[in-house]
Structure 1
Amino acid sequence: MTLPIKLTDHATSDLGALARLETIARLLDGRWTIPGTGIRFGADALLSLLPAVGPVAGMAVSAYLIWEARRLGASAGLVLRMASNVGMDTLISAVPVAGAFGDIFFRANLRNMALLRQHVERRGRR
């Protein structure tokens, strides 16, 4: 029986965290496709259909992604950009019913993951 090896390399653990966060972002913003259209949507659009509770739940998960980005070394400027994406998404989601459609086209979590991926790649090149 072999014991699991604990990774201590920061780069490897950062890539693992990034992959986990990207999975969450895809679930929130692009998990399913509307048949025959190619338009993708995620749990965030569905949560927007629940008055008050839905947008707050979506914002909480988005805030978790930002918190993890900070843990991965994101600068204050990057965190601010990510927070502004989530703020815009929250405003869109607050509009009853129409907010769900807005969430389909404004994918804050996928935008934030692209920003974080660029940050991690730039840091890896140094």
Structure 2
Amino acid sequence: MTDNAWNAGSADAFADRAERLRRIRRLSGIARLMDTAIGIPGTRIRFGADSIFGLIPVIGDAGGALVGLYIINEARRLGLPPAKLVQMLGNVAADSVLGSVPLAGDVFDLFFKSHRRNVQMILDHFGVHPDELRRQ
């Protein structure tokens, strides 16, 4: 392989990784907004839009599920294997079904962060450390 061919190959790999990080960074931001955007002062409890939407019967949990399905679709497009996608679907299903139970589901939403769990699965699959998602 010539030096030019090697450099072109490494440039392509760098561009692919940069694009993947950009997409994962976007998914991480969505998961943060949905699961941990707001902290309760004096506690370690954090919640997000998913918990707030969950207060609206049926519609709120369906909206959270749609966001979860978007994250799963992006994971599929990034190349996660089917077994991990099924696990991710299980997280979203648990969040949607258990989160829809009146009152108990709202408490469940405070502690079960399906979007963050799913983004963590993506990070683990690609060996990306959360620090790499910070903008330089």
- What range describes the TM-score normalised by the shorter chain of this pair? 0.7 to 0.9
1:43 to 39, 46, 49: 49
1:26 has 2:36 as partner:
no
Aligned residues, how many?
Answer: 116
> How do 1:1-126 and structure 2 match up within 5 A?
9-121=15-127
Residue 48 of structure 1 contacts residue 97 of structure 1 at CA under 8 Å; is this kept in 2?
A: no
Secondary structure of the corresponding residue to residue 35 of structure 1: coil
> What is the CA distance between 1:121 and its match in structure 2?
1.6
Task: Find the aligned partners of 1:45 and 1:71 in 2 and give their Cα distance.
Answer: 27
Task: State the TM-score, normalizing by the size of structure 1.
Answer: 0.87
Residue 22 of structure 1 contacts residue 110 of structure 1 at CA under 8 Å; is this kept in 2?
A: yes
> Residue type of the partner of 2:30?
I
Task: State the TM-score, normalizing by the size of structure 2.
Answer: 0.81
Which digits, 9 at most, give the CA deviation of each residue in 1:59-115, with x for residues without a partner? 000100000000000100010010001111011211123212111100111111111
Structure 1 portions without partners, runs of 5+:
1-7
Task: Find the aligned partners of 1:100 and 1:24 in 2 and give their Cα distance.
Answer: 20
> Residue type of the partner of 2:64?
G
> Residue type of the partner of 2:38?
W
- Counterpart for residue 7 of structure 2: none
- Counterpart for residue 131 of structure 2: none
Residue 48 of structure 1 contacts residue 96 of structure 1 at CA under 8 Å; is this kept in 2?
A: no
In percent, how many aligned pairs have the same letter?
Answer: 39
Secondary structure of the corresponding residue to residue 42 of structure 2: coil
Task: Find the aligned partners of 1:109 and 1:66 in 2 and give their Cα distance.
Answer: 9
Larger Rg: 2
